[in-house]
Amino acid sequence: MVGEVKAFIMAAGIGSRLFPFTVNRAKAMVPILNKPLLQFGLEELKAAGIKDATILVKSGKEGIIKYFGDGKKFGLKIRYIEQKENLGTADAIKYAKDLIGDFLVLSGDTIFLHEDIEGLVKDYLRNKPDAVMAITEKEEVRSFGSVSFKGDKLIGIKEKTEEGRGFINAGMYMFSKGIFEAIDKVERRDNGEYFLTDALMKLKNVKVYKMKKMWVDVGYPWEILNATEALIKTIKTKNQGKVEKATIKGDVVIGKGTVIRSGTYIEGPVIIGERCEIGPNAYIRPNTVIGDDCKVGNACEVKNSVIMNGTKVPHLSYVGDSVIDEGCNLGAGTITANLRFDKADIKVLVKGKLEDSRRKKLGAFIGAGVQTGVNVNINPGIIISPNSRILPGETIRRNV
């Protein structure tokens, strides 16, 4: 039965590619729709009927453990294991040895829906192979690596060498205890890590499960926006705040203690947290998520963006296709440019390498505690480190 299966969630990753949003939090705690990324996975596990989860933690473990506790408030039984060193995905699975029987593995920074969780587990229980690996189809596999298979049997996995449309490893598995013997045979890669995909190829009978529902991976800053756009479509209107003479269209969620001032125009889907002040005369456009204790003031426009707890955009500013961390303050006239003159896809410098976001509209990624002076302009795809101070009138053309 699906409900008897125990889940093992890998949430020990540092998340360095998600800088600046993983400086003060674990990767799995990056907020999507105003709740941690990991919470989506746990809620979907429960919806699939699975109630026992072990979470592998390391970087930022305190935040994870404090937030989720023993799991009771989420209807789950949760325990934690700390990974000693970050030695790759195969090493991470070794920490599941104490789980009784076959077990489910999920990546803590990826969103799977319960229909696919249940479908994968049932496929495994029906056929009892050595393992089942979830795969999903992507238009471009280069960033992920490609999976080849015949029927439902895994044939090969290529690491980021193929291009074009194909199937990729989605990061969800069902394993028999045979996986541990396979892991013991895995050799360390040049980067010092042990790859789970190498262990999979040492098993004789690995099946693939083609996912049928949405799959969302959050590995780069702009993928916070991708996840928001995908998930916010499901919200329903809920107003727990106070709305003055404002115009609200579409599905909009407004939290307790929030005031929407006169003259404000909101186009859903939009989520606004608790104790916020919006307006007067603000324009909040679709796919925007605003956290708790935020202010978006007079003559400000926010479009397709994520603004986290305690951030203030008081007046005369434009925030487009951007992610702004907690406790920031944007001076009057701060503008996040989000479109190149040549309309080309915007590239972002991540860990010293220009990465293609595959987005034509992309603004800034601003770390926690940043302050900008008046009339600051930020070019598309810029990352600003936490606690930076930007002088008035500056144009930011490179990462800070």
Rounded average pLDDT over 234-262: 97
Confidence of residue 165 (pLDDT cuts 50, 70, 90): confident
Rounded average pLDDT over 302-322: 98
More confident residue, 158 or 267: 267
Could you tell me which residues are beta bridge partners of residue 116?
Answer: none
Rounded average pLDDT over 56-72: 92
Residue at 57: amino acid letter: V
264 phi and psi angles, rounded to 5 deg? -75, 145
Distance CA 276, CA 297 (A): 10
Q: Is the pLDDT of residue 14 over 90?
A: no
pLDDT value, residue 344: 96
Instruction: Give me 143's structure tokens.
Output: 């960033």
pLDDT value, residue 162: 61
Rounded average pLDDT over 202-207: 92
376 phi and psi angles, rounded to 5 deg? -90, 135
Q: Is the pLDDT of residue 160 over 70?
A: no
157-163: long-range contacts at Cβ-Cβ below 8 A with a sequence spacing of 24 or more?
157/197, 157/200, 157/201, 159/195, 159/197
Q: What is the CATH number of domain 232-396?
A: 2.160.10.10
pLDDT value, residue 1: 64
Compute the radius of gyration of the chain from its Cα atoms.
22
Residue at 163: amino acid letter: E
Confidence of residue 139 (pLDDT cuts 50, 70, 90): confident
Distance CA 381, CA 337 (A): 9
Place of tokens 């999507």: 32
Distance CA 368, CA 243 (A): 29
pLDDT value, residue 355: 94
Cβ partners under 8 Å of residue 184, min gap 6: none
Rounded average pLDDT over 130-141: 89
Confidence of residue 354 (pLDDT cuts 50, 70, 90): very high
Whether residue 286 is preceded by a cis peptide bond, meaning omega within 30 degrees of 0, is no
Instruction: Give me 95's structure tokens.
Output: 């920490």
Q: Is the pLDDT of residue 140 over 80?
A: no
Classify the phi-psi angles of 221: left when phi > 0, otherwise alpha if psi is within -120 to 50, otherwise beta: alpha
Same fold, 2-219 and 232-396: no
Q: Kindly list the domain boundaries of the chain, sorted by start residue.
A: 2-219, 232-396
Instruction: Give me 102's structure tokens.
Output: 């076959």
Instruction: Give me 367's structure tokens.
Output: 């770390």
Beta pairing, strands 301-303 & 318-320: parallel
pLDDT tens-digit readout, 357-400: 999 999 999 999 999 999 999 999 999 999 999 999 999 999 99
> Across all residues in the chain, what is the average pLDDT?
93
Confidence of residue 85 (pLDDT cuts 50, 70, 90): confident
SS3 string, the chain, reads: CHHHCEEEEECCCCCHHHCCCCCCCCHHHCEECCEEHHHHHHHHHHHCCCCEEEEEECCCHHHHHHHHCCCHHHCCEEEEEECCCCCCHHHHHHCCCCCCCCEEEEECCEEECHHHHHHHHHHHHHHCCCEEEEEEEECCCCCCCEEEEECCEEEEEECCCCCCCEEEEEEEEEECCHHHHHHHCCCCCCCCCCCHHHHHCCCCCEEEEECCCCEEECCCCHHHHHHHHHHHHHCCCEECCEECCCEEECCEEECCCCEECCCCEEECCEEECCCCEECCCCEECCCEEECCCCEEEECCEEECCEECCCCEEEECCEEECCEECCCCEECCCCEECCECCCCCCCEEEECCEEEECCCCECCCEECCCCEECCCCEECCCCEECCCCEECCCCEECCCC
The model scores a pTM over 0.85: yes
pLDDT value, residue 25: 92
pLDDT value, residue 144: 77
pLDDT value, residue 3: 67
Specify the CATH superfamily of domain 2-219.
Spore Coat Polysaccharide Biosynthesis Protein SpsA; Chain A (3.90.550.10)
Asked which of 202-206, 322-326, 379-383 is least confident by mean pLDDT, the reply is: 202-206
Beta pairing, strands 371-372 & 283-284: unpaired
Beta pairing, strands 389-390 & 371-372: parallel
Confidence of residue 88 (pLDDT cuts 50, 70, 90): confident
pLDDT value, residue 134: 96
Distance CA 81, CA 8 (A): 10
**Which range has the top average pLDDT, 106-110, 194-198, 302-306?**
302-306
Q: Is the pLDDT of residue 43 over 90?
A: yes
Place of tokens 């360095």: 16
Distance CA 257, CA 275 (A): 4
Rounded average pLDDT over 199-211: 93
